[in-house]
Structure 1
C-alpha cells in the first residue's frame, strides 16, 4: 500500500513539474484565508483563470495537488512589477500558493502553504491544515500566519513580529433541510513593533457565524436563507477604520498600514483600558436570502440581504464624545456560471453594496455613489482524473 501511494505521489510531482516548466498559464488557486482552502479536498481537476487567481488542481481519487498565485490584495494586475522602493528591482505581488492532499471514503487531509512578499526585509508565511470527514460533510481549514523581520524598512534594530490566523473555518453540512449548514469563522492578528526601548502593538479578533435553514425548492428556484452574525474587536491599538476588523485584513495589511507602530498602542506606557472604556468593536446581524436556479447552460446564484450593525470607539480622554454608531446595511451579491460544454465554464461574480471605500478600504471611490460593483470573472477548465 505504501509503495502504491509513493508511486502516486511521484507521478503527481512529475505532472506538476512538467506543467510548471511547459506552461506559464498553470498557476495557483488559493489565498491565505481558511475560506480559500475549505473546498480544496473536494475540488476536481481543473485549470482556473480569473481576475484574482490563476491556478490548477490536479490529482486522482487519492492524491491531489495545487500550485500557483492568488491576489489577496485586490485584482491580480501583475505577478512581477518594478519595485516601488528599490531601483532596478522587482516586486512579487500576489500570494504564491501550493498544497497537497490525500482523500478517501473515510476522511481527507491536506497541507497548504502561502507565501507573500512584502519587501526584501519581510515576507509572510501561511501554512494551512485542511481536514474533511463524515463523507466530506465536516470540513476544517486552519491557516496560521507568521511574519518576522529585524529591519523594518531596512532600519537595523527595528523589529516587527506578526502572528495570527485568517479565517480558520469549520463547515458542517447537517443533511437536514430545516437546518442544513453551519459555517464558523475565527480570525486573529497580532503585530508588534520594537525600536530601541519603544514597543508598540496592534491586536484584533474577529468571529463570524452563518446558520443556513429551510433549504427548499420554490418552483424552479432553490431557496436557502441564512443568518450571518459577526463580531470584530481591536484588543490592542487605536481604532482607525473598520477595515482593520475585516476578514481580509492580513498581517501584510497590518504591516503596510501601521508601519513602525503608527496607530499602535505603546506597551511600555499604556493599556487598552487606559484609552477606551470598551475596546473598539463592530457587531452585525444580517439575514440573507440565497437563491439559485439553473438550466443546461446557465446557472445563477443570488444573495440579497439586509442587516443591522453597531460600532463603538468610546475614548476616556477629556471632551471625548460617545462614538457609538448604528447602521442599516444591505447587499446584493450574484454569481453566474455559463457552461457551453460540460468541462468548460465561464464564471462572473458581482457584489453591489453600500461599501463606498472600495476593495481593501482604499479611498479611491470615497466620493462615489454607495453602489459599487466589485466583480471578478474568468474561466474554469475541468480536467480528467490522473489515473
Structure 2
C-alpha cells in the first residue's frame, strides 16, 4: 500500500510541476518542499533547488511574461527606449521532515518602471507530505499607473491558494482545492474618481480509482470550478497587475447586475502513466462542459453560453542516466476561457497549443 501511495503521489506531482517551474507566480511552490536537489533549464525557466535533506533553498526565474521566453526586452514608448526584465525572479528557503515541512518564498515580477508585482509565499507540508498547502499572495502598488502622475493603483491577487490531501486509499486517492481572488482599484487624484474590479473563483479536483492495468497506471479525476465577478464585468484574470475595467466605488454590483458574470465548468479527466527504465510517459485526455452567463439591469434576459471543452495533455521524460532527464511537454485544448461577461469562446482561436522542453540535472545532497 505504501508503494502504491508513493507512486500515485509521484504521478500527481508530475502532472502539476511543469507550469511554473523555478517558481513562477502560480501555485508551483507547493512542490518546493518535495522537489529534490536539481538544476532545471527549460525553454521558459532556469533555476535550482539545493539542500541537505532538512534545510533546502531555491533560486531561479520563470518567463511568465516575456515573448518566446525573453529575459530582457527593449521597450520603446516613442521617445525613449528602456530595457525591461521580463521573468519572474524567485527565491525561497524551507525546512523538511516526515512530520512537518515549512517553506517561505518570494517572487518579483517586473511589469514596467512604474509597476512591479511582489509575491510572498508560504508553503506547508505534513504527515509525510500527504497534506500540502501553499499560499502565494501577489501585491502591486503604484501612484503613477501608466506613467501618469496622480494615477494610483493597488492590486492584490491569490493565484492560487491550494490545498492537497493524499488519502492513501485507491478508491479515492487524492483531493485538491484551489481558491482564487483578485481586487484591483484605480484612483485618479485630479478628479477624485475611483473604480474597483473584484473576482473570486474556486476549483476542486477529485481523484479516484487509482489502478494499475498491466504496465499502465490509470487515475481518473473530476475537475469542477466556478468563477464570478464580485465587482465589474471581468471574472478570472487572477493577477495583481490586471488593469481590468471596474465600477465606481460608489456603486454596488447589484446596482448594475441582476446576475453577475459567472462561469461554471465540469471536466472528467483520465490520467494515464507508464514508465520504463529510461522513458516515462504521462497522458491526460479530457472532455467537459462550460456554462457562462450574466444579466445586467437593462437586459431583458440573462445571456448564457454553453461550450464543449476538450483537452489533450502529455509529458515525456527520457532518462539516459539516473541523474539526467530530458523533458517534453505538450498541451492542446479547445481554449474555452470565457474572457467576456457572457461568451465562453469569443475572440479566441478554436484550438490552443503550447509546448515546452528542457533538461533537469538531479544533484546529490549537500
Q: CA deviation at 1:77?
A: 2.4
- 1:214 alignment partner in structure 2: 209
**C-alpha distance after superposition, 1:165-205 (max 9, x if no partner):** 11101011111101100110001010000003101011011
- 1:152 alignment partner in structure 2: 145
**Alpha-carbon separation, structure 2, partners of 1:82 and 1:45:** 35
Counterpart selection for 1:245 from 236, 247, 262: 236
Counterpart selection for 2:249 from 237, 243, 267: 267
Q: CA RMSD in A?
A: 2.1
Counterpart selection for 1:64 from 51, 56, 59: 56
Alpha carbons 1:76, 1:94 under 8 Å: kept: no
Alpha carbons 1:300, 1:337 under 8 Å: kept: yes
**Alpha-carbon separation, structure 1, partners of 2:67 and 2:81:** 24
**Alpha-carbon separation, structure 2, partners of 1:170 and 1:112:** 17
Compute the TM-score of the two structures, normalised by the length of structure 2. 0.87
Counterpart selection for 1:37 from 6, 29, 35: 29
Q: CA deviation at 1:153?
A: 1.6
1:144 aligned counterpart, secondary structure? strand
- 2:230 alignment partner in structure 1: 235
* Inter-CA distance 81–146: structure 2 relative to 1 (3 Å threshold): same
Greater percentage in helix: 1
1:41 aligned counterpart, secondary structure? coil
Structure 1 unaligned segments of length 5 or more: list them. 1-27, 360-364
Compute the TM-score of the two structures, normalised by the length of structure 1. 0.83
Alpha carbons 1:302, 1:334 under 8 Å: kept: yes
Counterpart selection for 1:204 from 199, 208, 232: 199
**Alpha-carbon separation, structure 1, partners of 2:87 and 2:348:** 28
2:98 aligned counterpart, secondary structure? coil
**C-alpha distance after superposition, 1:220-270 (max 9, x if no partner):** 11000100000111111124xxxx515xx3122x13xx3xxxx211112x2
**Alpha-carbon separation, structure 2, partners of 1:295 and 1:280:** 47
Query: How many corresponding residue pairs?
Result: 337
**C-alpha distance after superposition, 1:144-177 (max 9, x if no partner):** 1111111112222210011121110101111110
Counterpart selection for 2:100 from 94, 107, 121: 107
Alpha carbons 1:356, 1:366 under 8 Å: kept: no
Alpha carbons 2:64, 2:86 under 8 Å: kept: no
* Inter-CA distance 162–38: structure 2 relative to 1 (3 Å threshold): same
* Inter-CA distance 377–135: structure 2 relative to 1 (3 Å threshold): same
1:89 aligned counterpart, secondary structure? strand
Alpha carbons 1:227, 1:288 under 8 Å: kept: yes
**Alpha-carbon separation, structure 2, partners of 1:96 and 1:283:** 33
- 1:80 alignment partner in structure 2: 72
**Alpha-carbon separation, structure 2, partners of 1:300 and 1:376:** 15
**Alpha-carbon separation, structure 2, partners of 1:332 and 1:136:** 29
